[in-house]
Amino acid sequence: MKIAVIPIDNRPICYDLISDTLAIDNDIQLFLPELKDLGGLTTQSNVERLFAFVENLDNDVDYLIVSLDTVAYGGLVSSRRCSDSLNEIKNRIEKFKELASKKAKKILAFSSIMRISNNNINEEEKEYWAQWGKRIFDWSYYLHKTEVEQTYNCVHNTIPSEILNDYLDTRKRNFEINKIYLKWAKEGFFDTLILSKDDCAQFGLNVKEALEFENIIEKQNIKNAKIKTGADEIPLSLISRALSYNHEIKINPIFIEEKSINKISKYEDISIKNCALAQMELAGLKLDINNPDLSLLINNFEFEQGDLVLGDKINFTKEKINFPNNSYFIADVNNANGADNEFINQLLKQNIDNYFGYCGYNTSANTLGCTIFVAIVKFLAIKNNSYNHEAFLKIQLIRFLDDWAYQAISRKFVRESAPEFKKALLEKETELNNYAQKICEFLDYYPNKITYSLPWNRSFEIRILVN
C-alpha cells in the first residue's frame, strides 16, 4: 500500500509520529515531504516545494492524506497569522487541486475552523493577542452565547476597531476557503473532508461557524464531509480511516470512570464519551461491546479533567485498575497535557502480550486519535503478516517518554526555566533517561541511544529520537 501525507507542520507529533507508526507495517510505503519544507512556530511551509512533492509522487498512490492549512496558509499556526488575501489563497489551493487529482486514488483531507484561544499568549497568534486575546475570546463567547440563549450581552467591547476588524477579516477569509473545500467535497474531489474545531469552548465564533458548516453539509447532502472536534490528531485518524476501509475492526471502549462519561474535557465542547465515539467513527471502526477485536481502555476523569500545564488541578488514579484480558490499547485522558502518574505505575506492571499501545498526549481528542492510529496499524499488520514488532516498541518508548516522563514530570521545570528551555532540558536528561530505563524494562526493548530536543524552542514539543 502506498500512502502520501502532507502533515500539519514540522512538530514531532505531526511528522515523526506518522513515519514511526507506519513503520510497524512492513507493507506500507510512506511518502512524506522533507521536514525542512514544513512550517514551524514562526515559519511557513515552502508551498512550492510541497507542490513539487505532490507532482513527483507515483501516479498509483492509494491514499493522499493532506492538511489543507499547510497548503493554503503554510501551516496550522500560519492559518491564524498569514496576511495573504482570499484570492491569493484561492489560486494556491486550485493549483494543489489540479496536481493532487492526478496522483492519488483517494484524497482524505482536513482544514481547521480557526480557533480562539482563551488567553493573552500570542505565541501562536498575531502580535495583538498578547494584549487583546482574552477580550477577543470573551467578546466572541458572549456574542454567540446571547444569540443562542436570546439573552442580554453583558460584555462591553473595548477592543480597538482596527484590531477587531483585522481579526474578523482573517476569520472571514478562512471561512470562505472552507466553503470552497465543501464545494470540492460535494463534487467528489475528497473521499473524506474534515473541518475541525480546534481548542473549542461551548460558545464562540468558531462554534457558530461550525454550525453554519453543518447546515451547509446537511442542506446540500455532502455525505463525505464532517465536522469534528480536534486538530493535531485528525491526519492520524484519516490514515486510520484509509487503512481500515476494507476491514471491519470492532472496538469496545471501556471507561474507568463509567459514571463520568458525559463530562466535557478541557479545550473541547463535547463529552468524553462522544469524543471517543467520534474518533472511532472517523477512524472507520465499529462499536462492539460483546465481541470486539480490541478494547479501548479510557482512563477518564471522575469530576473534572486535570491539566498538567495549568497545574491548578492534577488527577491521579486512586484505585486498582482492572486491565482487559483481551487485546487492548489505552487513552489516558485523566489529565490534559500529559499522563496520570499512578495509572502509568500500574500499567508498567502489566504483561505486554495483549497490549496494542498507549497515548496521553495533549487534549482528549489528540490522545484518542493517536492511540487509535497506533493500535490499528499494529492490528492490521499482524493480520496481514507484515508486523514489525521492534517498530511498535520504538513508538511506545517515545510515547511513554513524551507523555509521561517529560510532560507529566520533567516539563514543569523546563517550562518554568523560560527562556532557557534548552538548557533546562539538558539538566533533565539524566532524569528522563532514568525513566527510560523503567520503560525499556516494561517493553523489553533496549535501544543504543536516546536523544532529546525542543524543536520549537519552547517547553511544549519535545523531539525524542531513538537509535
Distance in angstroms (rounded) separating the CA atoms of residues 295 and 21: 19
Distance in angstroms (rounded) separating the CA atoms of residues 101 and 61: 11
Q: What is the DSSP string of 174-223?
A: HHHHHHHHHHHHHHTS-SEEEEEE-S--SSSHHHHHHHHHHHHHHHTT-T
Q: What is the mean pLDDT of each run of 10 residues along the chain (467 residues)?
A: 97 97 98 96 94 94 97 94 94 96 94 89 88 89 84 76 93 96 97 87 86 96 93 95 96 97 91 96 96 98 92 87 95 97 96 95 95 98 98 98 97 95 97 97 96 96 96
Report, in this order, helix, strand and coil percent for the chain, each rounded to 5: 45, 15, 40
Q: What is the pTM of this model?
A: 0.94
In percent, how much of the chain has pLDDT > 70?
99
Give the model confidence (pLDDT) of 37-93 as tens digits: 999 999 999 999 999 999 999 889 999 999 999 999 999 999 999 999 999 999 999
Distance in angstroms (rounded) separating the CA atoms of residues 248 and 245: 8
Q: List beta partners, residue 64.
A: 4, 107
pLDDT at site 154: 67
| Nearest Cα to Cα of residue 369 among 25, 106, 18, 71 | 18
pLDDT at site 400: 98
Distance in angstroms (rounded) separating the CA atoms of residues 46 and 181: 21
pLDDT at site 8: 96
187 Cβ contact list (under 8 Å, min separation 6): none
Bond before 419 cis per omega within 30 degrees? yes
pLDDT at site 124: 86
Give the model confidence (pLDDT) of 3-42 as tens digits: 999 999 999 999 999 999 999 999 999 999 999 999 999 9
pLDDT at site 216: 97
State how far the alpha carbon of 384 is from the alpha carbons of 156, 234, 352, 376, 380, in Å: 61, 25, 21, 12, 6
Dmax (CA) of the chain: 63
pLDDT at site 144: 86
DSSP strands (E only) in 230-377: 250-255, 286-287, 294-299, 306-307, 328-332, 335-336, 355-359
